[in-house]
Amino acid sequence: MYYRSMFPRDLFAELERLQREVPQTVEPGPSIRGQKRGYPALNVGGTPNAVEIYAFAPGLDPATLDVQLEKGILTIAGERKAPAVSEQATAHIGERFAGRFRRVVSLPDDIDPNSIVAKYRDGVLHVSVQRREETQPRRISIQ
């Protein structure tokens, strides 16, 4: 939200505001990264046994990726280099992210910090964190 008119009857200001806000809410944003979101884009999901985090981070050397878990906070950090551009080249479109990045996810309380697996495949970092066994749903047998 950039601007709200102080005067509700200022019709033109209201229209202007609508014009800005409607596309933001109606369009899901065709860009993978969008303007409001960071790099890498994150999808987070869960099963009764584990929490799955997918970071869409293409074009990285997996060795330079820094994945840390501290006090239930998962941090994914790294750097993506811009493609080398020779001096004679002209850049027509430059939409891809370049530079240092850092994204932080707060994980639920029931995770087991000792059973965490991170894989990098096809430009997606998949972090899988198991939930603690004693918190997993179980069936209680009736005697």
Partner 1 sequence: MSDTNQAPKSADTTREEVALLPPVDVLEDAGGITLYADLPGVPKDRLSLHVEADVLTIDGEVVLDAPAGMELTHTEVGLPRYRRQFTLSKELDAGKVQARFEHGVLTLRIPKAEHAQPRRIEVQVV
Considering the rule CB under 8 A, would residue 54 count as an interface residue with partner 1? Answer: yes
The residue among 61, 78, 32 whose CA lies nearest residue 123 is 61
Q: Are 50 and 131 in contact (CB under 8 A)?
A: yes
The residue among 47, 66, 63, 36 whose CA lies nearest residue 55 is 66
Select from 1, 91, 140, 142 the one that contacts partner 1 (CB under 8 A).
Answer: 91
Considering the rule CB under 8 A, would residue 133 count as an interface residue with partner 1? Answer: no
- Alpha-carbon distance of 142 to 140, in angstroms, equals 6
Considering the rule CB under 8 A, would residue 107 count as an interface residue with partner 1? Answer: no
Q: Name the segment binding partner 1 (CB under 8 A); options: 11-19, 28-36, 109-117, 132-140.
A: 28-36
Considering the rule CB under 8 A, would residue 70 count as an interface residue with partner 1? Answer: no
Q: Name the segment binding partner 1 (CB under 8 A); options: 9-17, 52-60, 69-77, 131-139.
A: 52-60
Select from 11, 15, 22, 85 the one that contacts partner 1 (CB under 8 A).
Answer: 85
Q: Which two tokens stand for residue 15?
A: 């229209």
CA distances from 143 to 138, 140 (A): 16, 9
Query: In a 3-state reduction of DSSP, which class is residue 122?
Result: coil
Considering the rule CB under 8 A, would residue 136 count as an interface residue with partner 1? Answer: no
Q: Which helix (H) or strand (E) holds 12?
A: helix 11-26
Considering the rule CB under 8 A, would residue 109 count as an interface residue with partner 1? Answer: no
Q: Which residues bind partner 1 (CB under 8 A)?
A: 27-28, 30-34, 37, 40-50, 52, 54, 56-60, 83, 85-86, 88-97, 120-124, 126, 128
